[in-house]
Each structure stands twice: as C-alpha cells, then as structure tokens.
Amino acid sequence: MYEHRTAPLRVLAGAAFLMATSAVGPGFLTQTAVFTQQLGASFGFAILLSVLFDLGAQLNIWRVLVVSGRRAQDVANIVVPGLGHLLAFLVVIGGLAFNVGNVAGAGMGLNVMFGFDVRTGAVLSALLAITIFVVKEAGRAMDRFAMALGFVMIALASYVAIAAAPPLGEAVLRTVVPDRIAPLSIVTIVGGTVGGYITFAGAHRLLDAGLSGPGALGAVTRSATSAILLASLMRVVLFLGALGVVSHGMQLDPENPPASVFRLAAGEAGYRVFGMVMWSAAITSVVGSAYTSVSFLRGLLPRMENRWTWLVIGFIALSTAVFVTVGRPVKVLIAVGALNGLILPLSLGTMLVAASRRTVVGDYRHPVALTLGGAAVAFAMAWLSVQTLARDLPALMQ
C-alpha cells in the first residue's frame, strides 16, 4: 500500500490520463462537434455543468474505492449481494460495444493520415494496443502511452482551435448565461465522460498499483480532479474549434462532423491533424476500455487474476474481430451510448451507500458535502436520462 506522501507521481498521473483519454474517444469528438453546431456558444453551459457533475461523480467513486481497497464490483456486492455482478455485466457489455467503435475510430485515423483501408488500420492499431499488454510491466507501459498521446491530442486540438478564431467573449458569456439548454447534450457528454466503464478506469488503476487506504485520500483527490480537468480541457478546446468554424457561417459535414471542423479551420493540414487526433483518441480509448472492462471480469474470474493481461488481449482481439467481420453496429452503439447515462446513477448511488458502511470503509467518514453533491448528481442524471431516453431513444433506433 502506498501512503499519501510516497505515492509515485507516475501512478497518480497515469490514472488521471487513463481516465481522461478513456473518455476522449471517437464519440467524444463527434458529440462535441454536433452539439456545438446545434447550440453554438451555449454549449459551453452544458460543458460547465458536465464538469461539476463529473467532479461530483469521480471524487465520490474514487475515494470510496481507494479507501476500501476493493474494486467497484466487490463493493457493490457488499452493499447488495449480486449487485456487483449486474454492474460488471453492464460495464463489460457497454465497454465491448464501445470498443468496437474505438477500434473503428483508430482505423479511420490511420486512413486519414496514411490512406490505409479502415479495416487494415483497425487491425494495425489493435496490434499496437495488444503490444502494450505483452510487455512485462504492462501497467507502466499503459501509463506512459496514455500520458504521451494525451499531450499530443491537447496540443493538436489547441492548434486547430487557434486557427478557427472562435468568438471567445461570446463563449464565456453563453457559458454562464446560455440562450439555449438541451438536456440531451448534458446527459450525453456527462455519460461520455464519466459513464459506464470510464468512471472506474482511474480508480481501478490506482488499486492495481497498490494505492489504497485513508492515507491515500489526498493523492486520490488530486488525481481524480486532474483527470476531469484534462478531459474537460480537451472538450473545451474542441468546442472552441467547432465554435470558430460555425460562427463564421461554415457548415459541418453531417457524415463526419469533427473531421470537417479540423478541415474548415486549418485546410488539408488540419484534416491530417484530425487523423492524428482521431487515432490518438481511439487507440487510448481501446486501451482504457479493455483494461477497465477486464478489471470487472477479474472479480468474476479469480483464476485469471494473475493473468489479466491475457484477458485484456482477448478483449481487444474480440472487439477488432467484430468490427472487421461485422462492421460497426451503429444502432447498438447508439443504444449503449444513451443507456450509459443510466449506469452512472446506479454506480454512483451504490458508492454513496457504501461510503456509510463500516464493512466497506471501516472508520472512514465520507465528507457530507461530497455525499450531498454526489446524491444530487445521481438523482439529476437519473431524471435527465429517463426523460431523454423516453423522448429520443425510440427515434434514434428507428
């Protein structure tokens, strides 16, 4: 167990970047471009609200898991026997569906950069992701990979945002005083940032690195906050780039909104930059999705605890095989993406209950402010998700 003062910076930064880069996938890029086109500068309000929701969710979940020294499915099973198995099932199924899209996005990125066939690019990207888990110190390799590509994505997206020359004054104003609010945008981007497997990526990484117990809370809080701020920084940079494009009267290509943002802002060079950003976003999400989903399977398959890297390799290979042979199951991805918003209230609510159970956290006392904030996020997301799904999901699935 690492104590607060001796927790390696690499572990804390790696967990933060793993969560952040897991959130920034192909869907993240597309959502940001589409909602910016629909809402204009007012999308900044949804981003601001999502940052508050994300912090409320992550700080509660990370603290409870690290204090308890247990993964989420084990904590959930203590709260309600069998609940952990349900949570694991939802996370793994959702993670697999999303990983098919992540693999597809990696193939698209290499297609843009080098002209590879999308399926060939997907296979090459999957092989690179698998290589990370073949090496002896897979955790360390994963940390470095996520951090390196995280910096690359932010730098390249910032270049495009500057080139797009967005109206910064209007963006700031509408972030605080929006003239349009779309609940679907809030549910989607919160679910896409801390929904499903993403919520647990960083916390499970800290546990696997040996960081646990009340003495680690300060480090955990910093790491969780950094993760949300990194993901939010990427969201803001993409938002500003898209806002610059649409504010100048240009229309995004409905077939590939994020690609058109980069192309319209910076020409063909911008389009090549998009390919690198798309590939970086997709490949890091492939790694994060596979690692976190398998961390739930490890609780169900204790015999594989010491051979978890092979489960990760199998997960990536299966995702790639589905994409190569079947193609990207668009309707399934849409349904899973929308339902992701419902997983957050379930997982967050469970952790809030666990925070008051001595059988889970011992003598630790969870801050009342965090409990109230987390409960508000859970109820708000549950209400928004049900309302949004009832209204929009049937139309999306037609």
Provide mean pLDDT across the span 139-155. Answer: 88
Q: Structurally, how many domains does the chain consist of?
A: 1
The answer, yes or no, to whether residue 5 has pLDDT greater than 50, is: no
CA torsion, ordered 36, 125, 11, 356, to nearest 10 deg:
60
The answer, yes or no, to whether residue 338 has pLDDT greater than 60, is: no
Please tell me the predicted confidence (pLDDT) of residue 28.
83
Q: Is residue 156 within 8 Å of residue 234, measured between CB atoms? A: no
10-36 pLDDT, tens digit per residue, is: 778 888 888 888 888 888 888 889 899
Rounded Cα–Cα distance for residues 97 and 192 (Å): 14
Rounded Cα–Cα distance for residues 370 and 80 (Å): 22
The answer, yes or no, to whether residue 394 has pLDDT greater than 70, is: no
Q: 207 lies in which domain range?
A: 4-396
Structure tokens at 114: 């080098």
Instruction: Identify the band that residue 355 occupies on the pLDDT scale cut at 50, 70 and 90.
Output: very high
Instruction: Identify the band that residue 388 occupies on the pLDDT scale cut at 50, 70 and 90.
Output: low
Q: Which of 271, 224, 169, 211 is nearest to 69 (CA)?
A: 211
Residue position matching structure tokens 């409960």: 375
Greater confidence, 161 or 1? Answer: 161
Q: What percent of the chain has pLDDT over 90?
A: 48
Q: In terms of pTM, does the model score above 0.85?
A: yes
182-230 pLDDT, tens digit per residue, is: 877 887 788 777 777 888 988 999 998 888 899 888 889 999 999 999 9
Residue position matching structure tokens 């790491």: 223
Rounded Cα–Cα distance for residues 84 and 75 (Å): 7
Please tell me the predicted confidence (pLDDT) of residue 306.
78
Please tell me the predicted confidence (pLDDT) of residue 1.
42
What CATH number has the domain bearing residue 359? 1.20.1740.10
Greater confidence, 53 or 64? Answer: 64
